[in-house]
Chains A and B, each alone.
Chain A
């Protein structure tokens, strides 16, 4: 493999499924950005941290907000500062390069060592945002017209992009990415994940909590299914509260930690009283 032969295998506090490890390594080897999607709470953002830690590289995080422009990631020309300086006359304003500040991508490109760049929640930004970054991510270089300078990446950074699918990403952008969908962990994997966070947990408690957790997730009609982070909080609550593992499935204590919406809470409570399996509306064969 060119440039780096290091392979990402997850870190001690981040369990990465084998498929995910593969995707990370493929993306690093091909030098293409890795686009990560998945349910909330499946550790999309944590992945980049884990890659940086696992490969011992610096992590540069670029948090995207609805107002973020692609330009902000490259460089910012601080015209306001220049204006002040010109009005007070205590600085030399003829040198524009003093007022050019590199953005997160600019920082990554100029770094003397390969870094990991996390572009977090790219779908928050404007629809055109990914398109505006196409060229820069492709050739890993950009031009600053104000100074005539061209910034080219010394080492192609490992780029991780996360998306919550709030907006459809443009096809041209997708074509250039490596894509991975983090599916929700199964019970076995979930046990490992919880174990990593709470190594001293009683087996019995963990097994019961996970069983109950997946049951709650399987309830039909929840608006927001509980995710990993809620399970972790719940497990902690159960431990601190000193709950008897036997009672977890039957009573579901501290359910509010798992379900944050009133309606979901009601639905779950109703289901719990009857413990009926997920019901499906019977199909009626006549109309009225």
Chain B
């Protein structure tokens, strides 16, 4: 039952469960794959994959698994000639169908190759040879629930080719995408105050009506505790020059954060490459619009969730040395890394989002400082998937 396709999908990161697999088996036994690999491709995708973000992985896994199954061009051409003069499509009864419940594709492929060796010419309507209208598993317009479709007019593209097109690539969540997706991810960042604590000070109208009605009209007031989102967030963004290539993605995150109306409190701060004695209130990072990092820490309670956005790429001296600060006119009495550690120690929940994709973290020019900062803050790439993971991390204490 090609169960290894199930495991292959999982290893490609498509979260397939047994429930869905059983549904696929049921669908196959109903003949919903229309005895073509393309039909199977659509069927399996619609039943097994539950997010467009996973379509691309599915395509890859499908391509991997079925690559050998697809007939080679020279093979098809020869066979297509035989198939030219087609019989009308064949209808088949369920009893007959049941005989063909074999689904081993390796076996099918082997048989197809064997049969190709044996068969010397056109053939239509039978049950064994490659041709049209019959019940042989090879050919088109025929009926074999486990057949390999070779050409034919109904579906003229091959499933593996469709898979190979990978047209759903854009929907991968580890791809960098827009504001809306960020908003969706941010919405997960909520923590409702519990209904168990606090005074019951809100008139529960529904409950009151219900209770009164149940008492046959005798007024009975019901009270409830109100629930509110208690999440408070700080967004601390690097606005240094090395962030220029990432302005677009950072702006999108910024817009998404701004639009997220469900936070109890949301603050924005900025820094240039690394945090030192001062933290800036606007992206231009000018000294007159700055507050002392010390007072920043004092003002903001440790229960704020801190999201730092930056490429963490700088000269090692900027991170590790006194007066390593990049601005000529400024000086710092303590190395930046100390400040980063202080910030990390202050906030109970903090993550670092890096617009550089994680696969490059070890190779980019900032690799050294990235590695050092990664030790201090849990670092995720600034993509929808990275933000998702980061937000999961933000929900639990370090």
B partners with A? yes
Interface residue? B43 (CB, 8 A)? yes
Structural contact, A183 and B168, CB atoms closer than 8 A = yes
A-B pairs under 8 A by CB, number: 110
* A177: chain B residues within 8 A (beta carbon): 50
Structural contact, A80 and B213, CB atoms closer than 8 A = yes
A18 closest partner in B (C-beta): B155
Q: Can you list, as one digit per residue, whether each of B3-35 has a CB less than 8 Å from chain A (1) or not (0)?
A: 000000000000101011001001100111000
* B199: chain A residues within 8 A (beta carbon): none
Task: Tell me the bound Cα distance from A221 to B55 in angstroms.
Answer: 24
Q: Can you list, as one digit per residue, whether each of A56-77 has a CB less than 8 Å from chain B (1) or not (0)?
A: 0000000000000000000000
Given contacts A176-B19, A287-B313, contact A221 B248 (CB under 8 A): yes
Total B residues in contact with A, Cβ cutoff 8 Å: 51
Total A residues in contact with B, Cβ cutoff 8 Å: 45
Given contacts A83-B212, A168-B184, A221-B248, contact A30 B42 (CB under 8 A): no
Structural contact, A178 and B46, CB atoms closer than 8 A = yes
Task: Tell me the bound Cα distance from A167 to B314 in angstroms.
Answer: 37
Structural contact, B240 and A181, CB atoms closer than 8 A = no
Task: Tell me the bound Cα distance from A25 to B224 in angstroms.
Answer: 46
Task: Tell me the bound Cα distance from A180 to B52 in angstroms.
Answer: 8
Separation in Å of the B286 CB from the closest CB of chain A?
17
Q: Can you list, as one digit per residue, whether each of B205-239 has a CB less than 8 Å from chain A (1) or not (0)?
A: 00001101110110000000000000000000000
Partner of B47, one of A26, A86, A171: A26
Q: Can you list, as one digit per residue, whether each of B167-192 has a CB less than 8 Å from chain A (1) or not (0)?
A: 11001000000010000100110000
B43 closest partner in A (C-beta): A26
Which of B47, B167, B314 neighbours the largest number of chain A CB atoms within 10 Å of its CB? B47
Interface residue? B39 (CB, 8 A)? yes
Structural contact, A30 and B27, CB atoms closer than 8 A = yes
* B248: chain A residues within 8 A (beta carbon): 221, 281
Task: Tell me the bound Cα distance from A179 to B171 in angstroms.
Answer: 15
Task: Tell me the bound Cα distance from A175 to B16 in angstroms.
Answer: 8
Interface of B is mostly: helix
Interface residue? B282 (CB, 8 A)? no
A222 closest partner in B (C-beta): B178
Structural contact, A30 and B213, CB atoms closer than 8 A = no
Structural contact, A287 and B55, CB atoms closer than 8 A = no
Structural contact, A179 and B50, CB atoms closer than 8 A = yes
Structural contact, A19 and B188, CB atoms closer than 8 A = no
* A171: chain B residues within 8 A (beta carbon): 15, 17
Structural contact, B20 and A175, CB atoms closer than 8 A = yes
B23 closest partner in A (C-beta): A30
Task: Tell me the bound Cα distance from A30 to B246 in angstroms.
Answer: 46
Separation in Å of the A117 CB from the closest CB of chain B?
19
* B315: chain A residues within 8 A (beta carbon): 287
Which of A19, A22, A174 neighbours the largest number of chain B CB atoms within 10 Å of its CB? A22
Q: List 14 A-B contacts (CB under 8 A).
A: A29-B27, A30-B30, A30-B47, A35-B50, A83-B209, A86-B216, A165-B184, A167-B184, A174-B51, A175-B50, A179-B49, A183-B168, A221-B248, A287-B313
